[in-house]
């Protein structure tokens, strides 16, 4: 499926029918009026990410959202990234990381155009829709739409990597939280390691992303995470310890264990932008992983 930024929206469906209202909602994300932007975010979320479900139109909003996030004058770019994350990843949580898209979307490959057309016809055209008639393919069709949105986002990985260096902490943090879902991106670990040690929120988010990458950490990752254990920033210290506990639990540095055990005594609260789980939640999981 193409993810062109100029599709025929009338021929695409979102959760409520033809996606003719989507271009206006995307344009409204550039409005100087926060009320207008908020209404657009709410409408788009309901249309192309309805309760976690993606639709034929969903993959096609990816490119416009990336363009908006790439434009320095776009107001509240962090919210644009939040919407992009929702469209690309859906409601998946870090419980399923490291993410394997081949395995996750395997069931989507059996879906044909006739299956998709049948589901859309029952949902939007039939006066007396018979949901049972498409029950055997509906889940696979929804998975196909999710896969299309994910793959559309994957094509923009170079932009995601660039956002890691964004001066806005919330943008850089959300970029790291998004990138972890694309582990095959060339140079991902190196880019995460390169996030500045003095950037606070962005560095902490990069540490969490490193925590959820597959396989053992490389030497560069180990060096960066170990250095972060001495940071004056509590979130940076804790996320580095979490990453080391997840990636090399059997050879955990004493300093990392100390940080985790005493995390409750630090002022480590809240959630990093782009992540669902609180910092304390990540610490609890790390300790459980260590058998503590």
What are the tens digits of pLDDT across the range 108-124?
888 888 888 888 888 88
pTM equals 0.91
End-to-end CA, the chain: 47
267 — pLDDT class (breaks 50, 70, 90): low
The proportion of the chain whose per-residue pLDDT surpasses 70, expressed as a percent, equals 97
pLDDT at 53 over 80: yes
Average pLDDT over residues 149-175: 96
pLDDT of the residue at 107: 83
C-alpha dist (Å) from residue 83 to 41, 48, 184, 195, 271:
7, 10, 22, 23, 17
HSE toward the beta carbon, residue 2, CA cutoff 13 A = 8
- DSSP type of residue 51: T
Q: What is the mean pLDDT of the chain?
A: 91
Q: Which residues contact 58 (CB under 8 A, 6 or more apart)?
A: 14, 48, 49, 87, 145, 148, 149
3-state secondary structure 169-212: HHHHHHHHHHHCCCCCCCCHHHHHHCCCCCCCHHHHHHHHHHHC
Return all residues near 39 (Cβ < 8 A) that are at least 6 apart: 28
Q: What are the backbone angles phi and psi of residue 50, rounded to the nearest 5°?
A: -75, 110
What distance in Å separates the CA atoms of residue 39 and residue 98, rounded to the nearest whole number?
A: 34
| Distances in whole angstroms, Cα of residue 167 to Cα of each of 164, 170, 201 | 9, 9, 11
> Tokens for 101?
């898209």
Residue 197 confidence (pLDDT) above 90:
no
How far apart are alpha carbons 198 and 13 in whole angstroms?
45
Distance CA 190, CA 178 (A): 16
pLDDT band at 250 (very low <50, low <70, confident <90, very high): confident
Burial readout 245-268 (b: 16 or more C-beta within 10 A, e: otherwise)? bbbbeeebbeebbebbeebeeeeb
């Amino acid at each position: 499926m193409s993810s062109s930024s100029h599709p025929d929206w009338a021929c695409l469906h979102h959760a409520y029918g033809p996606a003719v209202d989507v271009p206006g909602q995307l344009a409204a994300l550039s409005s100087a009026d926060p009320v207008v932007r908020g209404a657009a975010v709410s409408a788009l979320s309901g249309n192309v990410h309805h309760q976690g479900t993606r639709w034929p139109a969903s993959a096609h909003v990816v490119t416009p959202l990336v363009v908006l996030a790439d434009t320095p004058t776009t107001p509240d770019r962090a919210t644009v990234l939040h919407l992009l994350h929702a469209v690309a990843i859906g409601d998946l949580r870090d419980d399923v990381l490291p993410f394997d898209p081949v395995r996750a979307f395997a069931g989507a490959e059996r879906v044909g155009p006739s299956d998709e057309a049948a589901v859309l016809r029952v949902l939007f055209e039939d006066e007396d829709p018979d949901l049972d008639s498409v029950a055997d393919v509906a889940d696979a069709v929804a998975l196909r739409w999710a896969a299309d949105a994910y793959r559309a986002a994957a094509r923009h990985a170079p932009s995601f990597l660039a956002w890691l260096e964004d001066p806005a902490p919330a943008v850089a943090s959300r970029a790291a939280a998004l990138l972890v879902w694309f582990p095959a991106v060339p140079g991902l670990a190196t880019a995460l390691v390169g996030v500045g040690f003095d950037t606070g929120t962005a560095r902490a988010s990069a540490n969490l992303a490193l925590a959820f990458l597959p396989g053992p950490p490389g030497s560069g990752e180990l060096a960066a995470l170990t250095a972060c254990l001495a940071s004056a920033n509590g979130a940076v210290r804790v996320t580095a310890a979490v990453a080391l506990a997840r990636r090399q639990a059997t050879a955990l540095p004493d300093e990392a264990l100390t940080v985790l055990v005493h995390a409750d005594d630090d002022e480590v609260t809240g959630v990093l932008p782009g992540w669902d789980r609180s910092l304390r939640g990540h610490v609890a999981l790390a300790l459980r992983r260590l058998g503590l």
